[in-house]
Every structure is written in C-alpha cells, then in structure tokens.
Structure 1
Amino acid sequence: MRRLLLALPFAMLPLAVAHAADEHDHEHGSLSAHEHGVGRLNAALDGKTLELELESPAMNLVGFEHVATSEADKAKVAAVRARLEQPLALFNLPKPAGCVVENQDLESPLFGGQPEADDDHNEDAKDKDGHEHHHDHSEINARYQFTCATPDALKTLDLTNIFTSFPATQKIQVQLIGPSGQQGVDVTAKAAALKF
C-alpha cells in the first residue's frame, strides 16, 4: 500500500518546487507547514488501486488541537473519527467504479496512544512582556487504499463532502497521479472536483 504513496512525493517534487516558489510559507519554510484552514491530499491511481492520504490540522476537522478531556470534546473527536472511517462517502467515489476499501489507517494524537503534539510543530512564543506561551499543533492523518473494479469510471475526484463535513477546511492542496499524468492543484469548496 505504501509503495505508491511513498513514491508520490518524489514524483511530485517538480510541482512542489514550483509551488514553493509561488507561495511564501512564513511559518516553517516548508510545504508541509501547519496552517489552519488548509489540508493536504495525496492521491494516486495505479491500475485498479486507488490510494488517498489526507493530512489536516486537527483544528480544521474537530475545531481544537488539544487532547479531548470534556465530554463535548470527546464526542467531537468520536464524530470526526466516525466520519473519516467512511471514506467511500467522504470522497464521494462514483459507484460505477466499484471501489471497495482494502485498507485504512487513521492517526492523530487526539485519537489516543500518541504524544499530544508533534514536537516539530510546537511553537514557543513570548508576548510583549516576555511571558512564554506554548502552542501545540496536532494533525490528523488518514490513509486509504481502495481496489476499484472499473477504474476507468474514476473520471473525477470530488472533495465536496470533505468541505461540507469539515467547514473549517478552506483549501486542500492536492497532489495527484493518475492515468493522465501528475498534477498539483489547490481545491476549494467552490471548485471541489478535479480530473484524474
């Protein structure tokens, strides 16, 4: 499963370099910087295998980035996890393609069993009085592998349900490899579909 997605960053490197030249990332100087409102999706279609990897700041999906302690926060995390566990509906894959989920993996500090936040994304800032403030940045990563009986029926990838399910997501940076080649595109709720 990971073979194709592991190759994706290398295949998309020319697009990433071009994208980096166009956009200045003030936070960490990389394309994978934690930016609220922005998610990332790697998509690869190879024969009958479709692999999707969604990465998003937890803020976009649950509305916070701390470990849930209140019942209300725990319910939000559970609802988001349940939604992410329904990839056929979330990605609105066309029924004629006959795609079935072969594998899925959800990871986040909010789901338990991991440190509260990734140390690479923690920021310590001092206010004007010199007091330190610690900001945690938690991510949610979802990886899916599908087998599609009729991959030719996958003409588009529609991300509308991601935007409607998670309205704090304003943009998804997509890197896609499909039968017509590779592309990198920013997708928004107003233009949520792209062609394979």
Structure 2
Amino acid sequence: MRALLFALPFTLLPLAVAQAQTHEHEHEHEHGSLGAHEHGVARLSAALDGKMLELELASPAMNLVGFEHAASSDADKHKVAVTRAQLEKPLELFAIPAEAGCKVVSQELESPLFEEAEHHHEHAGDHEHEHSDIHTHYQLECSSPDKLQALDLAPLFKQFPATEKVQVQLIGPNGQQGAELTAANASLDF
C-alpha cells in the first residue's frame, strides 16, 4: 500500500504539472527535496485500497502553526503542541465518517518544529531564511470502506485557516483523480 501511495505523485505528475502555479521558492528538507514550498498551499495524497486508507499531508509550517522558525518562546511552543495534537486526530481532521469504522493503524508526524530546538542557537541569525514543512502520514483500517463516499477537508480548513488550498491526488475505487480543494470547495468524491 505504501508503494502505491508513493507512486501516486508520479502517476498524476502530468495533472500536477498542468495545475502547477508559480511557487515562491524551493526548499530542501533534511530528508531530501520537497519541491514547491508555497505558503497557503498544502499537498495531500490519499489512497483507498480495500479496507486500508492512507493519507499523506505535506504543508509549510506557516499554514498550520503560523511560523516556521524554531519555537523558542512559551507561546510558540504552545502553538506547536496544539498543532501537533490537532494533527494527531486524523479521523476528525479529515471528517472520516464514524459509520466507515476506521481506526488509526499508524501515524507519523515529521517537522523540525516537533523536534527539540537543538539547532536554535546555531542558526539564530538565519531564521528569516529558514523554511519548515510539516509532513504527516496516516494509515487507517476501515471495517466498512464503502461508507467512505468523499474526502472532506472542511475541518482541516477550519482548524488551519492559513491553508488556502490543498492540492489533492487520490486513488480510490473509481480510479485516480486530482483536484485543488479550498474552504469553499472542500470535498472530493472517492
């Protein structure tokens, strides 16, 4: 399943290229290149295969936390903790219907902001040039996957209003599709 999720961006690459807009800048993450880093824009890959639903969200930290620098003040640390707690609830974040019987099998949240600020002093003068991203990966097992009719991002847009649009790539029972969702158009049928 994970291989399917990783193959998704390459399968839908022509669609992504067609919908690509000018990005502000490129960003290198410690785990490799992330590609476009555009404030207000996030990317979501979703794959429903049998009873397994995988969701992978990538977003500039600015969209979710409101800043990208190392959290040094108590207010910043609190904001990071609240954001992480919200991201640890994918069933709520993606409005997964209870009747689908989905449970979280695994989840990973990655961001320099979630780690200890060990490099904070080292790079103190560089903060205006740093760009942090947040990556999440969720694997859900659903007892009634037929009850998953749509991917609804309304709660994500509500909790993180700085996220203006999400570029979605989806593989589901009806094949592959891509869309750009906004708060006004926050749903995509499986």
- TM superposition score normalised by structure 2: 0.87
What is the alpha-carbon distance in structure 2 between the residues aligned to residue 55 and residue 115 of structure 1?
A: 23
The counterpart of 1:58, out of the listed 58, 61, 64, is 61
Letter in 2 for 1:139: D
Q: 2:102, 2:143 within 8 Å by CA — same for their partners in 1? A: yes
Q: State the match for 1:49 in structure 2.
A: 52
The counterpart of 1:140, out of the listed 134, 137, 150, is 134
Distance 1:74 1:102, change over 3 A: same
How many angstroms does 1:69 deviate by? 0.6
Q: State the match for 1:128 in structure 2.
A: none
Q: State the match for 2:2 in structure 1.
A: 2
What is the alpha-carbon distance in structure 1 between the residues aligned to residue 112 and residue 128 of structure 2?
A: 17
Distance 1:109 1:31, change over 3 A: closer
Other structure's SS at 1:53 match:
strand
Q: State the match for 1:125 in structure 2.
A: none
What is the alpha-carbon distance in structure 2 between the residues aligned to residue 35 and residue 156 of structure 1?
A: 26
Distance 1:54 1:116, change over 3 A: farther
Q: 2:107, 2:138 within 8 Å by CA — same for their partners in 1? A: yes
What is the alpha-carbon distance in structure 2 between the residues aligned to residue 37 and residue 115 of structure 1?
A: 27
Distance 1:111 1:133, change over 3 A: closer
Over the matched positions of the two proteins, sequence identity in percent amounts to 62
How many angstroms does 1:26 deviate by? 5.6
How many angstroms does 1:146 deviate by? 0.3
Q: 1:62, 1:77 within 8 Å by CA — same for their partners in 2? A: yes
Q: Which runs of 5+ in 2 are unaligned?
A: 27-32, 121-125
Distance 1:113 1:3, change over 3 A: farther
Alignment length (residue pairs): 180
How many angstroms does 1:31 deviate by? 8.8
Other structure's SS at 2:37 match:
coil
Are 1:154 and 2:148 matched, yes or no? yes
Distance 1:184 1:85, change over 3 A: same
Q: State the match for 1:70 in structure 2.
A: 73
The counterpart of 1:92, out of the listed 90, 95, 99, is 95
Q: 1:94, 1:154 within 8 Å by CA — same for their partners in 2? A: yes
Q: State the match for 1:187 in structure 2.
A: 181
Other structure's SS at 1:82 match:
helix
The counterpart of 1:176, out of the listed 170, 176, 186, is 170
What is the alpha-carbon distance in structure 1 between the residues aligned to residue 64 and residue 178 of structure 2?
A: 23
How many angstroms does 1:3 deviate by? 2.0
The root-mean-square deviation of aligned C-alpha atoms, in Å, is 2.3
How many angstroms does 1:24 deviate by? 3.7
Q: Which runs of 5+ in 1 are unaligned?
A: 118-131
State how 1:32-43 maps to structure 2 within 5 Å.
Answer: 32-43=35-46
What is the alpha-carbon distance in structure 1 between the residues aligned to residue 75 and residue 138 of structure 2?
A: 28
How many angstroms does 1:141 deviate by? 0.5
